[in-house]
Amino acid sequence: MLVRLMYASRAVPAVDQEELVAILRKSKANNPKAGVTGVLCFSEGIFMQVLEGGRTAVNQLYNRIAADARHSDVVLLHYEEIAERRFAGWSMGQVNMARLNPALLLKYSECARLDPFAVSGKVSMALFDELVATAAVMGQG
Ligand code: FAD
């Protein structure tokens, strides 16, 4: 039983590039053991993350992440049972915002800013799919 979950949250002000690297390092260490894959996006203080894997593993991880003091306003955007993974190649990939074409953000929202709080979960999921399709994800494995 595979599921896909997506949420958004707001980073606390103390979260900087170093903290982001620590989160990614921890994710890459923990997720393979739990059979979880996914992608994390961090832009202008906003996190967006997709988690895929077994239902129990994904739910346990989501509850742990939601309780993490490094972010707040955790909002579940999307949850579905899936037949196959979309992000199987990443224990936790990171969206490379430097390679992000602003036109892609404009395609899905009113301005060229990543704001999952202002759009539907469906739109955020569509944006994630395009980010992966355009190879703007780093951190293979
Ligand atoms: P330990 O690393 O031993 O941590 C023990 C406790 O300390 C936990 O409660 C942890 O939350 C807390 N803690 C650790 N470091 C810090 C710190 N620098 N500041 C504040 N509290 C801290 N974890 C994953 O395993 N996979 C993921 O995909 C993942 N994605 C994340 C995405 C976001 C946006 C955030 C904020 C966190 C994410 N985490 C992820 C981290 C997760 O919230 C837990 O911190 C981590 O899973 C705990 O790992 P551990 O069980 O090995 O405990």
pLDDT digits (tens, 9 = 90+) for 115-141: 999 999 999 999 888 877 775 677 655
For the Cβ of 5 lying below 6 angstroms from any atom of ligand 1, the answer is no
Rg from Cα positions in the chain: 14
CA dist list (Å): 58 to 1, 53, 77, 110 = 11, 6, 14, 31
Q: Is pLDDT larger for residue 7 or for residue 89?
A: 7
- Report CA(24)–ligand 1 centroid distance (Å): 10
For the Cβ of 48 lying below 6 angstroms from any atom of ligand 1, the answer is no
Residue 131 is predicted with a pLDDT of 79
This prediction's pTM = 0.91
- Report CA(85)–ligand 1 centroid distance (Å): 23
Nearest residue (by CA) to ligand 1, atom 44, is 65
> 65-81, pLDDT tens digit by residue?
999 999 999 999 999 99
